[in-house]
Structure 1
């Protein structure tokens, strides 16, 4: 099977900007929020969202990298920020692609052990194949695919794209 581009660089930039505005509208009353990206591509996407959000608002953004073993999500989850650094703040958990929902739901579960003002989720591509009752509050694109198809997001210098294979 070949590659079928579903989002090019310009489209991804537009999605990032739109999601940043949606995050701003949701957290408009906050002084500071945490954008927590799931390692590795989710964190790259989170950095892009944080940058876009800082360009359009005065909200202070703290970036957090979330380490989840995607093969065994029951193993303890670690983050680049200490719990005290995101306690009592608004938080957006970010990943590049929402497939079955396993990674996102275990990520959300980790943050539920901490008192937070509000928790939201953001993904670039929502595949609509959920195993768990998890939804993306902010999404770039929803895509109905077959279970045999695979969505991949590539972040390269000035050439981001997503494709279906």
Structure 2
């Protein structure tokens, strides 16, 4: 079952970017830290939208972690501590389910002192088991715990969110 079509996802990204600008237009720059592949692609789409709306300076980084075994491989961020200290950082992922992946994505930020940490996701499911608050979301969705949400964000611009 398709949850969001391409055009709907584009609209959700545009709205999330507008909300980010409303909160942070006065910042010298913000950091978008995308989790793994889909989060990083979504961060790039949000960055492009931020630039088209307001020219808000944005640095983009990738958080790498193993969602299946977050304790085995330590999460890492491809930005230096000096780049993220005293900056607004928005952690971005495609779907927030239990909050575990996002919770462990905070790990590489513990060695710095950000000004503010926020979370943005395309789809926020209501099954949090970890203390994670989503600040920006495209869609909040009540599902069963057995439902699986897949978000397909391709580099060529094709986006689709479906539930299996």
User: What's the TM-score bracket when you normalise by the shorter of the two chains?
Assistant: over 0.9
- Residue of structure 2 equivalent to 1:26: 23
1:159 aligns to 2:162 (yes or no):
no
TM-score by length of 1: 0.93
- Residue of structure 1 equivalent to 2:52: 55
The superposition leaves residues 81-126 of structure 1 with CA deviations (integer Å, 9 ceiling, x where unpaired) of: 1222212111100000001100111112432431111111000001
| Number of matched pairs | 162
Give secondary structure in 2 for the equivalent of 1:71. Answer: coil
Alpha-carbon distance in structure 2 between the residues aligned to 1:51 and 1:86: 20
Give secondary structure in 2 for the equivalent of 1:115. Answer: coil
Alpha-carbon distance in structure 2 between the residues aligned to 1:18 and 1:112: 30
Give secondary structure in 2 for the equivalent of 1:133. Answer: coil
Structure 1 segments (4+ residues) deviating >3 Å: none
Give secondary structure in 2 for the equivalent of 1:40. Answer: helix
Alpha-carbon distance in structure 2 between the residues aligned to 1:103 and 1:146: 19
The superposition leaves residues 37-60 of structure 1 with CA deviations (integer Å, 9 ceiling, x where unpaired) of: 001111111100011011112321
Residue number among 67, 92, 95 corresponding to 2:93 in the alignment:
95
Gaps of 5+ in 1: none
- Residue of structure 1 equivalent to 2:104: 106
- Residue of structure 2 equivalent to 1:17: 14
Alpha-carbon distance in structure 1 between the residues aligned to 2:39 and 2:20: 16
Cα offset, 1:160, TM superposition: 0.5
TM-score by length of 2: 0.94
1:149 aligns to 2:147 (yes or no):
yes
User: What RMSD, in angstroms, separates the aligned Cα atoms of the two structures?
Assistant: 1.2
Give secondary structure in 1 for the equivalent of 2:51. Answer: helix
